Amino acid sequence: MIADIIIGGLINGSVYALLAIGFSLIFGAARIVNLAHTAFYMVASYCIYFATHKMGIHPVLAMLVAIILVTLIGLICYKLFINPIREHEAAVLIATIALAMAMQEIMLLIFTGDFLSVPSLASGYLKIIGVKIAYQQLLTIGLALLILAGVWTLLKKTRLGLAIRSTADDREVANLMGMNESRVAMITMGVSVGLAAFAGAVVVPLAVVNPHMWMHPLIMMLAVVVLGGLGSLKGSFIGAYILGFAESLVVFLIPMGAFLKGSVALSIMILVLLIRPEGLFGVAFEEER
Amino acid sequence: MPLRKRGRMGILGVYLRKIYNLFKGEVLVLPSRIVVFLFFFVLLFLPVVTQDPYLLRILILTSIFAILAASWDLLSGFTGQVNFGHALFFGVGAYTSALLNLHALIPPWGSIPLGALAAVLAGLIIGIPCLRLRGTYLALTTLAFPIILMGIVFAIPDITGGELGVSGLNRLSGSRLYDYYITVVLMLGLCTIMWKITDSKTGIIFHAIREDELAVRAAGINTTRYKLLAFSLSGFFAGIAGGLYAHFMRIAGPSTLEVSMSFQVVIWAVFGGVVTIYGPVGAVFILFPLLEFLRFWPEFRMLMFAVVILLILLYMPDGLLPWIRDKIEKECPRCKVRNVATRKDCRVCTAPLD
């Protein structure tokens, strides 16, 4: 039971962290609230399903193909639908919702609404003090942490990361300092969608693939981002694990918990916001006028 | 005898001419006013031409959602408190009036206003924590409230019926035609009231809060009070829409609280053009029947809906109706009165229009 809670919390937390960090990146660098973020996660899961089941590609290769393909789709969507209306915040919100709906419907048309599953990368399980832990679960957690570390290095150690962070800090000044703002936004979009696709790829062997699988992660991701503080990567990371553990605690400990898991996680978010309106690690923005 | 008769006719004629002149001078001068007039006229006299129950049903639902979309605009468009959980008000209104109707046996004319009052309460409850948040934080936080309520609804199925919802409510009225007139007249009335509110002094303060809250505070206006007022007004109108929906469908289910319902409202309002009231109403009257029309291709229905929204937004990011209005009308640069786009000079001050 305790082990279940810990493993569940770690997996939920890692996936939410991957999603939330991607979302924070594009929000920070381009001020785009991308509500289609988790739809890319869903599309990546379907890509892997298609590659492994219909084309018989090895799962690891399928993962790579899916991530590249989905990143490309994300960039095309960005160029076609989001970039032209970037200055209109409300329009961007609606456009991304419409994009997510369109992707959901396309998946529904191609694969129908059936619940599908994908073979795991590693079979078998580990026994620690009488508790079974599947290798796949360990692999998911490990890969997620690895990629998170990779993103951290990208942002803190490379020139590209510097450009992304400075654009997030102040777009105009970054532009004046010779960073091509629209190109940084484009690259950030690529990284962000790539992270969403990766989240989909690592979690797909443990999850059920269906066209509506983006809704719940979307809400949890938004809660994580708000809890941690918009645009704060550290906040997203810690917030993700807080809500991930909260969810798995509720599911395992409270009767009818599966219905309440979203409610409890979101209530935690609201409680934190009551005390700290800018989230756990958010910076209280100067009043933007 | 002939003289008296002529006199009577004369008075009637004078009044008729007065009304005609008023109509010609105030309504026929601007295409947008003609459209609004035709909108009222067609909706009110449609049953004279056809009483097709399916058509009336669509128009009833469209009217209900028009109230909902306009109430979103009042809160999020005018006051700038972007609410992503508008389904909360709708759901609270629907569930409250359903439960009151079912258990306390209150007829619809009583349960719908009481449901709206419950929605006002919900507006105050979520408005108080939301006062401290702004912009994107506010939008993403409000998304959480209907989901929390939905979790509670599912957790206590004895009272709320869980997934099945509360069913077996009283009808709105005896027949489809009466239902139609109740909802349409309410919709026209409530939307006019909302439009009047946004035009009043309070509405101007709402505008100002959106543009620059700090300046409004500096002008000695209690913005907290006005923001809460916006939350409760919006909740009231959305609650009425929820109650009407529950009584018309005779069921209040969890679908009224879904995230997609909240998103739907935002889509309607932004598609039609925010900060207008008429924009969201017009958008619902375009998009909702469109969605019904697309049922001929059920599997492509939502896809085409999404594509239409994407394409329209690409070319008109400020919304459809303001875009059309700007095409057919021009604002006089001197006296700020609107004119038909075909005019060369202003109809009031005769200044040349660019």
For A199-231, how does the pLDDT look when each residue is reduced to its tens digit (9 = 90+)?
A: 998 888 888 888 888 888 998 998 898 888 887
Residue B185 included in any domain: yes
Residues of B within 8 A of A270 (CB-CB) are 129, 141, 144, 148
| CB atoms A109 and B274 under 8 Å | no
Judgement on whether residues B308 and B242 belong to the same structural domain of the protein:
yes
pLDDT greater than 70 at residue A287 = no
In a mutagenesis test of the B interface, which of A254, A263, A276, A280 is the best target, namely the one with the most B β-carbons within 10 Å? A263
Burial class (CB in 10 A: 0-12, 13-18, 19+), B325: buried
Residue B42 included in any domain: no
| Interface predicted TM-score (ipTM) | 0.83
Closest alpha carbon to B47 in B178, B171, B173: B178
Residue B19 included in any domain: no
Neighbours of A197 (CB within 10 A): 29
Amino acid type, B54: Y
pTM: 0.89
B152: Cβ–Cβ under 8 A, 6 or more apart, which residues?
A: A260, A263
For B59-108, how does the pLDDT look when each residue is reduced to its tens digit (9 = 90+)?
A: 999 999 999 999 999 999 899 888 889 999 999 999 999 999 999 999 99
Judgement on whether residues B87 and B213 belong to the same structural domain of the protein:
yes
Judgement on whether residues B331 and B199 belong to the same structural domain of the protein:
no
B-chain residue closest to A112, CA distance? B299
Paired with B279 in beta bridges are: none
| CB atoms B147 and A266 under 8 Å | yes
Average pLDDT over chain A reads 87
Judgement on whether residues B323 and B306 belong to the same structural domain of the protein:
no
Residues of A within 8 A of B136 (CB-CB) are 27, 33, 230
Cα–Cα distance, A9 to A11 (Å, whole number): 6
Residue B75 included in any domain: yes
Cα–Cα distance, A47 to A67 (Å, whole number): 9
Predicted pLDDT at B227: 93
Judgement on whether residues B334 and B295 belong to the same structural domain of the protein:
no
Residue B34 included in any domain: no
Closest CB to A260 among B144, B155, B259: B155
Domain layout of chain A by residue ranges: 2-212
pLDDT greater than 60 at residue B184 = yes
Residue B14 included in any domain: no
| CB atoms B136 and A262 under 8 Å | no
Judgement on whether residues B244 and B279 belong to the same structural domain of the protein:
yes
In a mutagenesis test of the B interface, which of A93, A230, A250, A275 is the best target, namely the one with the most B β-carbons within 10 Å? A93
Check CB contact of A111 with chain B, cutoff 8 Å. Answer: no
B-chain residue closest to A97, CA distance? B263
For A77-88, how does the pLDDT look when each residue is reduced to its tens digit (9 = 90+)?
A: 999 999 988 888
Paired with A126 in beta bridges are: A133
| CB atoms A85 and B266 under 8 Å | no
| CB atoms A105 and B144 under 8 Å | no
Q: What is the mean pLDDT of residues A175-180?
A: 89
Give A 242-281 residues with CB within 8 A of chain B.
256, 259-264, 266-267, 269-270, 273-274, 277-279
Structure tokens at B150: 């939905």
Residue B220 included in any domain: yes
Judgement on whether residues B222 and B344 belong to the same structural domain of the protein:
no
CB pairs under 8 A between A and B: 126
Judgement on whether residues B215 and B329 belong to the same structural domain of the protein:
no
Query: How many structural domains compose chain B?
Result: 2
Judgement on whether residues B206 and B291 belong to the same structural domain of the protein:
yes
Residues of B within 8 A of A225 (CB-CB) are 140
Judgement on whether residues B138 and B171 belong to the same structural domain of the protein:
yes
Judgement on whether residues B225 and B104 belong to the same structural domain of the protein:
yes
Structural domain including B179 reads 52-317
Q: What is the mean pLDDT of residues A21-45?
A: 91
Judgement on whether residues B245 and B341 belong to the same structural domain of the protein:
no
Closest CB to A88 among B144, B267, B317: B317
